[in-house]
Amino acid sequence: MHYLSTRGGIAPIGFTDAVMMGLASDGGLLVPAEIPQIDAPTLREWSALRFQDLALEIMMPFIGNEIPRHELQILIERAYSGFIHSEITPIIDAGDLKILELFHGPTAAFKDIALQFLGNLFEYLLARNGGQLNIIGATSGDTGSAAIDGVRGKAGIQIFILHPKGRVSRIQERQMTTVLDANVHNIAVRGTFDDAQNIVKALFNDLPFKSAYQLGAVNSINWARILAQTVYYFYAWGRMTGGDTTQKISFAVPTGNFGDVFAGYLAKRMGLPIDHLIIATNRNDILTRFVNTGIYAIGDTVHQTLSPAMDIQIASNFERYLYFLHNGDTAKVRALLNDLQTTGQLTVDAEHHAQTCIDFNAMAASDTETLAQIQAIEAASGYILCPHTAVGVHAAQGQINCICLATAHPAKFNDAVQNAIGREAPLPPSLQGIMEKESRCIELAATVEEVKAYLKETLSSMMHE
Ligand SMILES: *Cc1c(COP(=O)(O)O)cnc(C)c1O
């Protein structure tokens, strides 16, 4: 399988290069040259597979002969060995609701599904092809801990995660700083998340520095992350229908960066019988507005909500959808992105907007509606939703044969849970005792110079070991 850029500016590359490149060198996102089509007999067969075996079948056509099948199988088994549920992503009944729980990985949020795989994949590719990867990222919460856990102890990889000191939740901070592996470097910067993010951007824009120190990112634009997330759509469909390809299922998907719901779109394009894909957003509703109007318009500010992992203004995977919506017309994608950059908005034409309305439904939930949803579901069934999941459940109203994706364990967001139902959700095993564990973190001023100096010093000392 070959990979191309959504902006048309690179020669086709293979899967390995696409994974290591992350972002295409022309600034676009990498996409497969074609989408494998899965026929009905195959879907029927796959519906009986366990999660890991299904993952192997789904990934193989996207990887081709670049990774031998039995080696990919080992990577996949290893990636999901730390999940505490034997089904990896079980479907749970909460009264009338069907909940697809995606939070049984080491950090109790759905990002583990992609990042546990990506960490193992990076390690494998680095060992095979040689080289070193120094991951640097800024986090306001979930991504940092999932990324750290994905690569902890992995050969050939160092990870540096910046978080704004005192501005991530206590649990999230502890989830990052109690990982004591030598290749994990937590940096608390004295500033805001935007400061941390801007420092990381500045380091990546410093091209000589970036290449001298082999900096890489683990943000949600890596194709391997999308691929890993596609698996649970197939898995859930199989569990719900028993492989009856005349049955369609809808999915309600809490979304920020358009990563999770794009994986569902890919599954649908591969032939999975999906009825509605419901984009669920919080007050940061650029995607919901787009589906309803065909206009993708950046708002004036990011609003803080009870579902912070979705407090995002620009959805980084959206460009991939624009590409497929326009049948791979990269000139059109470039023109639309140019509009977005120069005017703060882009508009798809009526014909393409009609297609978007077929591809997606969308609904936004306010914080009040989010809390009401947590409260109502708990009252009706005793099941406790995390606030992100509650946004999805809100958007699923009135749907039939719909599965709601649960993206985090509620105990990670106990302030909101307490607020909604007057008590906290019990901690999952991975979070128990976390407040008492030993931790390691260094504190720096929120300046590019300080962070750069720290990176240089740490990485030089390792290179000389
Ligand atoms: C990251 C995250 C989301 C949003 O996922 P996208 O890939 O940005 O669509 C939703 N819920 C939780 C708990 C998350 O951590």
- The amino acid occupying position 23 is L
pLDDT at residue 448, as a whole number: 96
Q: For residue 463, what pLDDT band results from cuts at 50, 70 and 90?
A: low
pLDDT digits (tens, 9 = 90+) for 29-85: 999 999 999 999 999 999 999 999 999 999 999 999 999 999 999 999 999 999 999
pLDDT digits (tens, 9 = 90+) for 238-273: 999 999 999 999 999 999 889 999 999 999 999 999
pLDDT at residue 207, as a whole number: 85
Looking at domain 91-107+223-429, which CATH architecture does it have? 3-Layer(aba) Sandwich (3.40)
- Is it the case that residue 416 has pLDDT exceeding 70? yes
Cβ distance 290 to 356 under 8 Å?
yes
Of 173, 127, 185, 114, nearest in space to 154 by CA: 127
Rounded CA-CA distance 203/215 in Å is 9
Q: For residue 114, what pLDDT band results from cuts at 50, 70 and 90?
A: very high
Neighbours of 244 (CB within 10 A): 14
pLDDT at residue 204, as a whole number: 85
- Residue reference for tokens 């109502």: 376
pLDDT digits (tens, 9 = 90+) for 126-140: 999 998 999 999 987
Mean pLDDT on 294-319: 90
Of 104-113, 128-137, 352-361, the range with the lowest mean pLDDT is 128-137
Atom of ligand 1 nearest to the CA of 254: 10
- Is it the case that residue 197 has pLDDT exceeding 90? no
Q: For residue 192, what pLDDT band results from cuts at 50, 70 and 90?
A: confident
Cβ distance 372 to 222 under 8 Å?
no
> What distance lies between CA 128 and its chain's CA centroid?
26
- Is it the case that residue 90 has pLDDT exceeding 60? yes
Atom of ligand 1 nearest to the CA of 220: 7
pLDDT digits (tens, 9 = 90+) for 432-455: 999 999 999 999 999 999 999 999
Q: For residue 301, what pLDDT band results from cuts at 50, 70 and 90?
A: confident
Hey, which of 142, 265, 287, 413 would you mutate to test ligand 1's pocket, going by the most ligand atoms within 8 Å of its Cβ? 142
- Residue reference for tokens 């088994």: 77
CA of 371 to the centre of ligand 1 (A): 18
Please, what is the Cα angle at 18 between 127 and 176, to 5 degrees?
A: 65
Q: Are strands 91-94 and 97-101 parallel, antiparallel or unpaired?
A: antiparallel
Hey, which of 112, 251, 317, 388 would you mutate to test ligand 1's pocket, going by the most ligand atoms within 8 Å of its Cβ? 388
CA of 258 to the centre of ligand 1 (A): 8
Cβ distance 374 to 389 under 8 Å?
no
Mean pLDDT on 155-159: 95
- Is it the case that residue 465 has pLDDT exceeding 60? no
CA of 252 to the centre of ligand 1 (A): 13
Rounded CA-CA distance 133/32 in Å is 24
Q: What are the angstrom distances between the C-alpha of 223 and each of 37, 60, 354?
A: 18, 14, 27
pLDDT at residue 217, as a whole number: 79
Every domain of the chain and the residues it spans: 91-107+223-429
Q: Identify the residue whose C-alpha is closest to ligand 1 atom 11.
A: 407
Of 221-225, 230-234, 349-353, 374-378, the range with the lowest mean pLDDT is 221-225
CA of 148 to the centre of ligand 1 (A): 16
Measured from CB, residues less than 6 Å from any atom of ligand 1 are 109-111, 142, 220, 254-260, 309-310, 388, 407-408
Q: Identify the residue whose C-alpha is closest to ligand 1 atom 14.
A: 309
Q: Residue 248 catalytic?
A: no
- Is it the case that residue 285 has pLDDT exceeding 60? yes
Cβ distance 30 to 43 under 8 Å?
no
* Residue, of 349 and 22, whose pLDDT is higher: 349
Tokens of 194: 């935007």
